Structure 1
Amino acid sequence: MWYVYIIRSIDFPDQDYIGATEDLKRRIPEHNAGKSVHTSKFKPWKLIWYCAFPDKYKALAFEKYLKGHSGRAFAKKRL
């Protein structure tokens, strides 16, 4: 399974990050440990939403959509 997820900074609640991973239980602690350049300055993070996909390419396509303008609007309104 592949997961698309949204995390939100606890100290900076206006900062969200959208990502995809095969191991969600490992990935969130990595964000909080500062192992990602994109998320290290806004740690700690909390998981606010995720969705499982049986196919890697569908997960990556949905992640790409959510990172775009209309996808961010969709996520803000619906997720």
Structure 2
Amino acid sequence: MYFVYVLKSLTNGRFYTGSTSNLERRLNEHNLGKSKYTRLTKPFNLIYKEEYKTRVEAYKRELFFKTGKGRELLKILIKQS
């Protein structure tokens, strides 16, 4: 299984969207500062996730969430979860 996930920084309140096949490992990497993009804004809470059968499906959804319309939908989905 593959996941699209959204993290919220406890440092500055910003969101990070990504995709992975191992959600627990990836969250730990973010919180341990092993991700170049997020190391300065750790720690993070997982606030939203979706599961997909293929890496391609998950990656397409990740890219969509990084668009304007995707961000709008994500705000709604996060409020509902």
Is TM-score (shorter-chain normalized) higher than 0.5?
yes
Structure 1 unaligned blocks of 5 or more: none
**Letter aligned with residue 77 of structure 1:** I
C-alpha deviations, 1:30-61, integer Å up to 9, x for none? Answer: 00111111111110001001111011111100
For 1:65, give the aligned amino acid: F
* Alignment length (residue pairs): 78
Letter in 2 for 1:24: L
1:15-30 → structure 2 map (5 Å cutoff): 15-30=14-29
- Paired residues for 1:1-79 under 5 Å: 1-13=1-13, 15-79=14-78
RMSD between aligned alpha carbons? 0.8
Distance 1:16 1:5 in 2: 10
Q: What is the identity percentage for the equivalent residue pairs of Structure 1 and Structure 2?
A: 35
What code does the residue aligned with 1:2 have? Y
Counterpart AA for 2:31: N
Deviating beyond 2 angstroms after TM superposition, the runs of 4 or more aligned structure 1 residues are none
